[in-house]
Structure 1
Amino acid sequence: MRRQPWWGPGTVALVMLAVAGCSSGGTSSSPPEDKPPASGRTDDDRAAGERGLPGVPSAATAQRELSGLKVAAHRSMSGYSREKFPHWSAQGDSCDTRERVLARAGTDVKRNEECRAVSGRWTSLYDGKEITDASELDIDHMVPLANAWRSGAGAWTQRKREAFANDLTHPQLLAVTASTNRTKGDQGPEEWQPPAKTSWCTYARAWTAVKSTYELTVTRAEKQKLDDMLETCGR
């Protein structure tokens, strides 16, 4: 008489369950706990003036992006002019890029029928000053146009340079006091840093993100200073 196997349907089910348990590595199926941002900063302790600045990465992400940037000496300024970076472009509803930045960066901003900001409150990232008159604000290019030109933008098409000069998606445009913007000029972080050291973390993260997005180069001194400024994050 043919012998039946010693295992039955119930035994097979138990074995399959055991195997399934082993394949999970013995870990719980519950989702991992939320972790704080790598920068150690939260929405509640962002640098004054960071409001409305889009696409600012965490310090950890910025550090990775910085490591991936190509290091090269500045290229020639030959052929450069601000006119090769058309701004401020029309953004619809009678608004241009400047007015869009003012609207997103301020609090209680009111605009007239021509989209001009007639009242509101703004905090300048670079020096932490509170401003209530939009005429005292400049819209700064985080990575200045001349710096971008020396870092690779000289080889771009006019269309790409216009997109760079009016970028509302990445942390390239911010409202700051006219005095700090003009002191900064076209200098990089190795030559100029915001007077308010509390903004260095945001500044370095934003600068690095823009350079990474547009695949612009950095000088060795620029990269070292950005690395130093990222060290201030989470303190």
Structure 2
Amino acid sequence: MQKVYARRRLSILAALTGFMASAALFNSPAASAALPTPVGAATARSYLSRLPVATEDRTGYSRDKFPTWITISGACNTREWILERDGESVVTNSACTATSGSWYSPYDGATWISPSDVDIDHLVPLAEAWDSGASTWTTAQRQAFANDVTRPQLLAVTDNVNQAKGDQDPATWVPSRSAYLCTYVRAWVQVKYYYDLSVDTAEKNALRNHLAGC
């Protein structure tokens, strides 16, 4: 039954994403909205207990199978929308490109004043999603996942920290800033649960251990 509901959620989200991309008329939340707060630790532990455990399989993965970035609102694509949401005193031009502002990276505690120093991280990486079940999705569903501004899946972080993270899961990588660890693993579990993605054994053990301290 859970998988049926998950498929329905994906179908609805994909339909909304397609509407935004084609018409650019979807009434999105204001870009000044705060980063979505993940579920609490108790809820995350409950979700984790219900996630299917499976061996990861990257056969056939390509980043191109997760189209980014799409139009979110007006002239703003996903990257620019997140930059404006997560930044302070952000100034944009008529194309919605950020020209100035400041961005605090919760992963390492660094603050940047140039948008070129900031990446938009997919908290659950696209390759990880593919390994965990997204290989069976349609392109529209993968596009919805890659541009999800509703759940705590996208956030602005230091570019080289994001690059060092790559496609790793919490068994091998968590933010160096310990104050953000609980938020990170709660968000990870929430996203995986919402999209009905699996976890591998090492990943589940690491998440369980981290959540025990939250």
TM-score normalised per structure 2: 0.82
Which residue matches 1:189?
170
Provide the C-alpha distance between the structure 2 equivalents of 1:231 and 1:99, rounded to a whole number of angstroms: 36
Provide the C-alpha distance between the structure 2 equivalents of 1:210 and 1:55, rounded to a whole number of angstroms: 12
Which residue matches 1:132?
113
Which residue matches 1:73?
55
Provide the C-alpha distance between the structure 2 equivalents of 1:162 and 1:140, rounded to a whole number of angstroms: 15
1:98 correspondence with 2:66: no
Q: Deviations over 1:183-232 (max 9, x none)?
A: 00001010111111111101101100100000000011101111222233
The alignment's C-alpha RMSD in Å is: 1.2
Task: Choose the corresponding residue for 1:204, options 185, 206, 213.
Answer: 185
Which residue matches 1:161?
142
Q: Which runs of 4+ in 1 moved over 6 A?
A: none
Please tell me the residue identity of whatever aligns with 2:41: A
Local SS of the residue matching 2:207: helix
Q: Deviations over 1:158-186 (max 9, x none)?
A: 00000000000011101000111000000
Provide the C-alpha distance between the structure 2 equivalents of 1:108 and 1:62, rounded to a whole number of angstroms: 33
Give the Å deviation of 1:55: 4.5
Please tell me the residue identity of whatever aligns with 2:156: A
Provide the C-alpha distance between the structure 2 equivalents of 1:52 and 1:221, rounded to a whole number of angstroms: 32
Provide the C-alpha distance between the structure 2 equivalents of 1:202 and 1:66, rounded to a whole number of angstroms: 15
Which residue matches 1:215?
196
Equivalent pair of 1:200/1:232 in contact (CA under 8 Å): no
Give the Å deviation of 1:150: 0.5
Deviates more, 1:224-233 or 1:57-66: 224-233
Provide the C-alpha distance between the structure 2 equivalents of 1:110 and 1:215, rounded to a whole number of angstroms: 37
Query: Which structure would you say has the larger Rg?
Result: 1
Unpaired segments of 5 or more residues in structure 1? 1-50
Task: Choose the corresponding residue for 1:85, options 66, 72, 81.
Answer: 66
Unpaired segments of 5 or more residues in structure 2? 1-32
Number of equivalent positions: 182
TM-score normalised per structure 1: 0.75
Equivalent pair of 1:200/1:230 in contact (CA under 8 Å): no
Provide the C-alpha distance between the structure 2 equivalents of 1:124 and 1:229, rounded to a whole number of angstroms: 21
Which residue matches 1:63?
45
Task: Choose the corresponding residue for 2:98, options 117, 138, 142.
Answer: 117
Provide the C-alpha distance between the structure 2 equivalents of 1:98 and 1:144, rounded to a whole number of angstroms: 15
